[in-house]
Structure 1
Amino acid sequence: MRNVLLLPLLFLSLSCQAHDETDRRLISTNGYGEVTVPADTAILDLSVRATRKSGQEAKRDVDDRVNAFIDQLKTMSISQDNLVASSIRIYPRYEHTNSNRLFSGYEAIRQLTVTLKDMTQLTEVMDQALAQRLEGIDNVRYENREMPKHIQAAHLLAISDSKSKAEALAKAYGAELGPVVRIDYHRNTPPAGDIMKASGMETMMVRSSSTARPGTYLPDEITYSDNIQVSFDLIISP
C-alpha cells in the first residue's frame, strides 16, 4: 500500500517543479568586450620552388636559395629562433597534351616563416627574399606579443558589460537582479591579422631597384573581442 501512495506523490512533485520553472522570471543579456592595440610583430610566409629532371637536383636548387636567404637574415641580426624552414615537398610533374601525359621533371617546394620583432625590417626582408629568388611572398600577418593579456582583458570587459546591461534593465522595470541562472560562452577565435595575400607577387623577374623608393607597409591596429550571454533571475517585489 505504501508503494501505491508514493507514486502519486512523485508525480505531484515533478508537476510542481515544472510549473515553477515555467513561471520563473529571467532576464538575459549579451555582454561584449573589445580591446584595440597596435601591432608590434610581423610574420612573413614565404615559399620557393624549383622543377628539375631529378628530385635531387630540385631539392639542391631550393636548398641553395633558402640557405642564401638565411645568410642574409643573419647579416640583419635576425635570430634563427625567429625562422621556421623545416619542411620540403618533392613530387613528379606531368604535362598533358593531346590526351597524353608526359613527365616533365620533379618539383621541390619549401616554405618558410620569418617572425620580425622589428617591423621596420619588413621591406628589407621581402627585398632580400626576392633577391635570393624566393619568389613566393604568400602572406604577411601582424600580431601583438601580449595577445593573451589582451584576450583576457576583452573577456573581462564582456563579463562586466553583461552585468551592467542586466542591472540597468532590471532597474528600469522596477525589479532587482537575482543570481546567475545560465551562462552561454564560446571563446572568440583570435584575429589572424592577415593583411596581404600576395599570390600575384610570385614573379621570378621582380627585383628591387636601387633608385626606387622602398615600399611602406602600415599595419592596422589589432582588435581582440569577446562576447558572453548570461541569464539572471529577475526578482520582482510584491
Structure 2
Amino acid sequence: MANDINSPTLSTTGYGEVIAKPDMAEFSVAIQADRSQAKQAKAAVDKVVETFIASLTKSGMARKSIVSSHLQLSPQYNYPKDGKPVLNGYRAVRDITVTVEQLDKLNTYLDLALQSGVNRVNNINLKVKDETQYKQKARQAAIADAKQKAQQLAKGFDSELNGVWSIVYRSHSVRPVMMAKVVAMESQSVDQGYQDEEMTISDQVDVIFKLKN
C-alpha cells in the first residue's frame, strides 16, 4: 500500500490493555448416571437436572440464566480379551450452564449443585458485565500507543508525520479467568480462589503514517 503514494511512510502497531475485576461468572456442571437400563439412566439424570434447576430458580435466579443440554445416552461395554463385547449397561449425561450475575452468590449456587446430586463442575469462567467499556478503553490505549511510537520514530529519524495513510484494526481479545480444573462434587470442595482474580482485555491496531518529504 505504501508503494501507491509518492511520499515516505512509517508503519507502527499499537497495543492496549486494561485490567478488569470480574463481577459475574458462568459455570458448567455435568450430571452422569450409569444404569443397567437406558430408561433408568435417563430417569436418574433427569431427576437431578430438575432438582438443580428448581433449586436455582427458588433461590431467585432467572430461568433464562440456566441452559441445559440435550441428553447424551450411550451403551457401555466390557471388552474381554477373548470373545465379543458384552453390554454392561447405559450411561446418560447432561450438562447445565449457569450464568451468575452476582459473583458473591457463586458459592451458594455451587452448593446447590452439590446438594442436588450434580457429579462434577467442568469449569468456572469469571467475566465482567460491562465488557464494552473495557474494550473501548483498550482500543483507545492501542491508538495512543501507535501514535506515540510513530511520533518517536519520526523524530528519531529527523522527520515529521504528515497524516495517516491506512489503518488496519486487528480486533480485541479477552483473557477470561478460567478455573479450568474439573471438580469432583463428591469431594465437597470447590476452588474459591476466584475472589481476587483479574482479567485482561487487549486490543491492537496497525497504522501506516505518511512522512513529510
TM-score (norm: length of structure 2) = 0.87
Q: CA deviation at 1:54?
A: 2.3
Q: Quick check: 1:220 aligned with 2:197? A: yes
- The superposition leaves residues 113-167 of structure 1 with CA deviations (integer Å, 9 ceiling, x where unpaired) of 1111111211222122122221110000011111122112211221122112212
Alpha-carbon distance between aligned partners in 2 of 1:138 and 1:38, rounded to the nearest angstrom: 22
Give the Å deviation of 1:21: 6.0
Q: Is 2:190 the counterpart of 1:202?
A: no
1:5-84 superposed matches below 5 A: 24-84=7-67
* CA displacement at 1:198 relative to structure 2: 2.9
| Identical positions, percent | 30
Aligned to 2:141: 157
Tell me the distance in 2 between the aligned counterparts of 1:25 and 1:227.
23
CA RMSD, 1 decimal: 2.4
Q: Which runs of 5+ in 2 are unaligned?
A: none
> Contact 1:130/1:206 (CA < 8 Å) preserved in 2?
no
User: What is the Cα deviation at residue 216 of structure 1?
Assistant: 5.8
AA aligned opposite 2:181: A
Equivalent position SS for 2:71: strand
Specify every segment of 5 or more residues in structure 1 that has no aligned partner in the other structure, as ranges.
Answer: 1-17, 209-213
Amino acid at match of 2:166: R
Q: Which residue of 2 aligns with 1:109?
A: 93
1:9 is matched with none
2:167 counterpart letter in structure 1:
I
1:169–1:217: structure 2 CA closer, same or farther, 3 Å change rule?
Answer: closer
Runs of 4+ in 1 over 4 A off after TM superposition: 20-24
Decide which structure has greater helix share: 1
Asked if the contact 1:123–1:216 (Cα under 8 Å) also holds between the matched residues in 2, the reply is no
Distance (Å, rounded) in 2 between the aligned partners of 1:50 and 1:215: 27
Write the letter of the residue equivalent to 1:145. K
Tell me, in whole angstroms, the C-alpha distance in 2 between the residues paired with 1:66 and 1:217. 26
Q: Deviations over 1:44-64 (max 9, x none)?
A: 110101112222211111010
Which residue number corresponds to residue 144 of structure 1? Answer: 128
Query: What CA deviation, in whole Å up to 9, does each residue of 1:53-98 have, x standing for no partner?
Result: 2222111110101111112212321121211114221111112121
Max Rg structure: 1
Count the aligned residue pairs.
210
Which residue of structure 1 aligns with residue 77 of structure 2?
A: 94
Q: Is the 8 A contact 2:7 2:212 kept in 1?
A: no
